[in-house]
Structure 1
Amino acid sequence: MPKMCLELGRGRRGLIGHTQPRRLAARSVASRLAEELEVSLGEQVGYQVRFTDQSSPTTLVKLMTDGILLAETQHDPLLLRYDTIIIDEAHERSLNIDFLLGYLKRLLPKRPDLKVIITSATIDVERFAKHFGTAKTPAPVVEVTGRTYPVEVHYRPLVRDEDDEEDRTLQEGILHAVEEIEAIEREKGWLHGPRDVLVFLPGEREIRETADTLRRAELKGTEILPLYARLSNEEQNRVFAPHRGRRIVLATNVAETSLTVPGIRYVIDPGLVRISRYSYRSKIQRLPVEAVSQASANQRKGRCGRIAEGVCIRLYSEEDFLSGPALPIPKSSAPI
């Protein structure tokens, strides 16, 4: 999207601002864009996240978190530094994103030259189009469909046989799913080509516990890699490095839409996500673990259908999937 804006002549009278909900995504997208444009990161393409500003006076495209752009409105109310603003992953509906959406709607009549692009893979198109347009003339909508390969979905709830007293733990369910993946490979003959596994987990603690369980299992020819925001840049970049054998990436929902992990053929989805929620009653921000929406579950499933046919193992029942909300609930408006 920023490359298209550059080709259309945007970025000359001001910056092309491109927001991401997470620091990791802002850094990785900026690096990818600089690589594709064959420029040094920090020159024509830069990024700014909390405590780090890698941009310069020659920067044309600036990647940043939603909070950085929101903070800039305090000393630049009309956002005169920008001629184009791209709000990415708008479906996440955090407080920062919702504030920006409301702020930009009020700003556009004062800045008719400013172009605003709202993007998301699971966005509620009609509501957003009405918000930025009128009831008779909604904002224009551009839908882009990508090529995907077929993905098999297997439901494996964390429930043991009737003779067993206890259900499987999350870690036991993931290990069992990895063993099932090995059986699927032998059956289908998928022993060559992409073989990596992406496991979605709610947070850092669950990632550490799952990594310990998988390492104790001593899976042959398998590398276990965590992926979450608090890791150093060097550790995060290991996910993109070439490798041999199988790699199991344990990631938060940053890998759902904000970041594309290469080489994924299998997805293990426990159906859980840790989401920041604001309670207007207690006036505090909390991080509860919730079930994902149908749109988020389908987005996770699609992560293993990008380069070859794949398999998604959901650690919950099909009834749970169908009974969940169709779209993610806005983070700033859900009751606690």
Structure 2
Amino acid sequence: MGRDRHRFTRQLDDLQKRAKSDKPVDKGVNKLVHSIEQSTALVARRQESVPDIIFPENLPISARRDEIAKLIDGNQVVILAGETGSGKTTQLPKICLELGRGVKGLIGHTQPRRIAARTVASRIAEELNTPLGESVGYQVRFSDHTQDTSHVKLMTDGILLAEIQHDRYLNKYDTLIIDEAHERSLNIDFLLGYLKQILPKRPDLKVIIPSATIDLERFSEHFNKAPIIEVSGRTFPVDVHYRPMADTEDDLYGAITETVSEILETEKGSSRRGGDILIFMSGEREIREGALALRRAQFPHLEILPLYARLSLEDQNKVFNGHKGRRVVLATNVAKHNHPNLVLRKKRKKKKGLADNNGSE
């Protein structure tokens, strides 16, 4: 295993120093040989347990996977510009697996948010037809669902940062995918800067930077003109309706309730079943109060679900589990990668000292 190489080298150096000093080394040599045999056996088990890999033909990235694989194989760093719906988040780890990565070390895949780390891991595991936590696992704060034979590890960028404290060169990974790089959070920027420093000392490490189609040249320049490949996304017809708050609506939650009521009323008598409704809100308190207002309205056959980072795992999973009825999900931007039929966006910025006009879009 890649994570053991540095330890074995250090142990061998110690044994050589002991031998030069005429100190006994037999016990140390036997221990080192045993450790190497264990590490070799683990690599063999990991190789045997690599699942069959299938790529969905309807995703744009699948059509270019050979080109992407060739770039990854021939370069230490690759910048992948993928539009929404291209499939970059779920398919990149599988492309790396197909290349033989993830056997001598983990394929680490960071996400800015815990919910994203869990749901992406679940999706990849489902596509590989393997139980979550085995070949594909995830780690977020207070929760580690990986094992020795895991090939792909989803995690928050904060988890990877914490690992640097006890693994300076991130030796447990042979591939790192830093997703959502365009968000340019403090964690992401620190990781990108740190990775640039350690790459010369880790020539075996591959780094892939998936990003929206912005700042591509800056990412490339940062990593010494790393190659860029662009993958188109999928677009769907979207109708945008702006609904300002009426004079009779004196609060945000009343406006949201009335808007949902109008949507349901408009669809009455339609032969096509309406989809779920996603309402973006700026924080946990607004989500809880909005959910309470909708429940008080007692809409028939409508499930109201909040979604925010501090919600329990069980309650978060309700949003992603299958269901028969119709749902209204009130969420922060942790839900921005899901695809309901209707999205309500509260048009109010969260900025100290300023208060924009309210409206639903």
TM-score normalised by length of structure 1: 0.72
**C-alpha displacement of 1:235:** 1.3
What amino acid sits opposite 1:18 in the alignment? H
Q: In the alignment, does 2:117 pair up with 1:26?
A: yes
Q: Find the residue that maps to 1:40 and give its secondary structure.
A: coil
Q: Give the corresponding residue for 2:104.
A: 13
Q: Give the corresponding residue for 1:315.
A: 359
Tell me, in whole angstroms, the C-alpha distance in 2 between the residues paired with 1:193 and 1:147.
23
Q: Find the residue that maps to 1:41 and give its secondary structure.
A: coil
* 1:105-161 alpha-carbon deviations (Å, 9 max, x no partner): 22222223211111234643232222223xxxx322222223222101112234x35
* 1:43-88 alpha-carbon deviations (Å, 9 max, x no partner): 2212111111121111111111111111111221111111110111
Q: In the alignment, does 2:236 pair up with 1:176?
A: no
Aligned match for 1:199, one of 272, 276, 279: 279
Q: In the alignment, does 2:229 pair up with 1:147?
A: no
CA 1:290–1:272: 2 relative to 1, 3 Å: farther
What amino acid sits opposite 2:313 in the alignment? N
Q: Give the corresponding residue for 1:66.
A: 157
What amino acid sits opposite 1:270 in the alignment? K
Q: In the alignment, does 2:324 pair up with 1:244?
A: yes
Tell me, in whole angstroms, the C-alpha distance in 2 between the residues paired with 1:289 and 1:85.
40
Is the 2:182–2:214 contact (alpha carbons within 8 Å) kept by the matching residues of 1?
yes
- Describe how 1:7-156 pairs up with structure 2 within 5 A: 7-121=98-212, 123-133=214-224, 138-156=225-243
* 1:289-320 alpha-carbon deviations (Å, 9 max, x no partner): 9999xxxxxxxxxxxxxxxxxxxxx9368xxx
Tell me, in whole angstroms, the C-alpha distance in 1 between the residues paired with 2:135 and 2:354.
40
CA 1:289–1:207: 2 relative to 1, 3 Å: farther
CA 1:33–1:291: 2 relative to 1, 3 Å: farther
What amino acid sits opposite 1:114 in the alignment? L
Q: In the alignment, does 2:296 pair up with 1:216?
A: yes
CA 1:215–1:289: 2 relative to 1, 3 Å: farther
- Larger relative strand fraction: 1
Is the 2:344–2:360 contact (alpha carbons within 8 Å) kept by the matching residues of 1?
no
Tell me, in whole angstroms, the C-alpha distance in 2 between the residues paired with 1:251 and 1:55.
28
Root-mean-square deviation (Å): 2.7
Q: Find the residue that maps to 1:152 and give its secondary structure.
A: coil
Is the 1:21–1:65 contact (alpha carbons within 8 Å) kept by the matching residues of 2?
yes
**C-alpha displacement of 1:227:** 1.0
What amino acid sits opposite 2:333 in the alignment? N
Q: Find the residue that maps to 2:150 and give its secondary structure.
A: coil
Is the 2:110–2:177 contact (alpha carbons within 8 Å) kept by the matching residues of 1?
yes
CA 1:151–1:42: 2 relative to 1, 3 Å: same
Tell me, in whole angstroms, the C-alpha distance in 2 between the residues paired with 1:246 and 1:89.
30
Is the 1:18–1:88 contact (alpha carbons within 8 Å) kept by the matching residues of 2?
yes
Is the 1:201–1:273 contact (alpha carbons within 8 Å) kept by the matching residues of 2?
no
**C-alpha displacement of 1:245:** 3.0
Q: Give the corresponding residue for 1:310.
A: none
**C-alpha displacement of 1:102:** 0.8
Is the 2:348–2:359 contact (alpha carbons within 8 Å) kept by the matching residues of 1?
no
Is the 1:2–1:61 contact (alpha carbons within 8 Å) kept by the matching residues of 2?
yes
Tell me, in whole angstroms, the C-alpha distance in 1 between the residues paired with 2:360 and 2:349.
14
- Which of these two proteins has the greater Rg computed from alpha carbons? 2
Q: Find the residue that maps to 1:142 and give its secondary structure.
A: strand
What amino acid sits opposite 1:125 in the alignment? L
CA 1:241–1:146: 2 relative to 1, 3 Å: same
* 1:82-108 alpha-carbon deviations (Å, 9 max, x no partner): 111011122332221111011112222
Q: Give the corresponding residue for 1:268.
A: 344
Is the 1:90–1:123 contact (alpha carbons within 8 Å) kept by the matching residues of 2?
no
CA 1:50–1:113: 2 relative to 1, 3 Å: same
CA 1:206–1:96: 2 relative to 1, 3 Å: same
Q: Give the corresponding residue for 1:300.
A: none
* 1:15-50 alpha-carbon deviations (Å, 9 max, x no partner): 100011112211221122222212222222121111
What amino acid sits opposite 1:153 in the alignment? V
Tell me, in whole angstroms, the C-alpha distance in 2 between the residues paired with 1:121 and 1:315.
28
